[in-house]
Amino acid sequence: ARAQAMQIDQSPAVTYDDIGGLEEQTQEVVETVEDPLSDPKQFDAVGIEPPSGVLLHGPPGTGKTMLARAVANETDATFIRMAGSELVQKFIGEGAKLVRDLFELASEHEPAVIFIDEIDAIASKRTESKTSGDAEVQRTMMQLLSEMDGFEDRGNIRIIAATNRFDMLDRAILRPGRFDRLIEVPEPDLEGRTRILEIHTDDMNLADAVDLEGIAAETEGFTGAELASLATEAGMFAIRDSRAEVTMADFNNALEKVREEDDTSGTPIA
Ligand code: ATP
């Protein structure tokens, strides 16, 4: 199970420059994750422990994974990603064993960033039902917290968790010494959307008339992931029309298409 569930991430390097908006969030990640990894001595000198765990929370597709990947890349740390849902196992002790394996893998590859996506899968508020499944999920979470408690000896391992269901989280994991740094990753504002569109059209052959700020103004509520697919969709319209250059009309068509898809997804199935 270990080989398939837990992997050292080999995907292409992401840098802070690839992330649109999120300046404040990036700054916080630098202070809480990057500085302790790249210069642990400054914490020793002052005599404080760096935060053990950082929790990123916000809607899906806003760049939480990118941020975690970028900080690992910028510090030359190994990036190990695991989804909370993969830690939910059927058999007693299996989830806890995966957590132990996860930290073992990280310590074999220090410095390392462990990224646990969908942390809510193992750290939701306790439900009324006291089924054995819930107890097993609890044990998995306890194992995670106990690995984090052993942090002083762990040196160069940092943990970043992410969730898009912050309200569901068991507050116990937010106590001091645990995931005690909360960083909200919201939907991008106008400036953020413009920057994200710039980033995702950087390699595209855009006509001069393409007004990215105008598109950003039309896409309030879009996430980074949605803006990325809007740019791809605009490119598809150009290809269908056998053009290499992507025009403003292509973007407008792409917008229309995305909006229609939104409408139909909201329609109940008859
Ligand atoms: P989830 O909660 O669903 O895991 P996430 O917040 O981790 O989502 P990412 O996986 O980081 O989101 O983003 C998905 C994709 O959307 C990225 O690979 C990137 O192409 C694009 N994207 C999202 N946010 C941004 C951003 N702020 N700047 C640039 N691209 C972005």
CA-closest candidate to residue 169, choices 178, 156, 157: 178
Residue 115: which H helix or E strand, with range? strand 112-117
- 57 labeled binding residue: no
Give the torsion through C-alpha atoms of 260, 20, 109, 88, to 10 deg: -30
**Longest C-alpha distance within the chain, in Å?**
66
User: Cβ neighbours of residue 108 under 8 Å, at least 6 residues apart?
Assistant: none
What are the strands of the beta sheet with 7-8, ordered from one edge? 7-8, 78-83, 112-117, 157-163, 53-57, 181-184
- 65 labeled binding residue: yes
- Please tell me the distance from the alpha carbon of residue 181 to that of residue 179, in angstroms, as a whole number: 6
Whether the ipTM is more than 0.85: the answer is yes
Indicate which residue's Cα is closest to atom 30 of ligand 1: 224
Distances in Å between the Cα of 75 and the Cα atoms of 40, 158, 170 are 12, 11, 31
CA-closest candidate to residue 80, choices 49, 115, 104: 115
Q: How far is the CA of 190 from the centre of ligand 1 (A)?
A: 17
- Would you give the distance in Å from CA 15 to the centre of its chain? 14
User: pLDDT tens digits for the chain (270 residues)?
Assistant: 444 557 787 777 899 999 999 999 999 999 999 988 888 888 889 988 888 789 999 999 999 999 999 999 999 999 999 999 999 887 888 999 999 999 999 999 999 999 999 999 998 886 545 555 688 888 999 999 888 877 665 668 999 999 999 999 988 888 888 888 999 999 999 999 999 999 999 999 999 999 999 999 999 999 999 999 999 999 999 999 999 999 999 999 999 998 888 776 655 554
pLDDT attached to residue 51: 80
Ligand 1 contacts CB of residue 62 (under 6 A): yes
- 200 labeled binding residue: yes
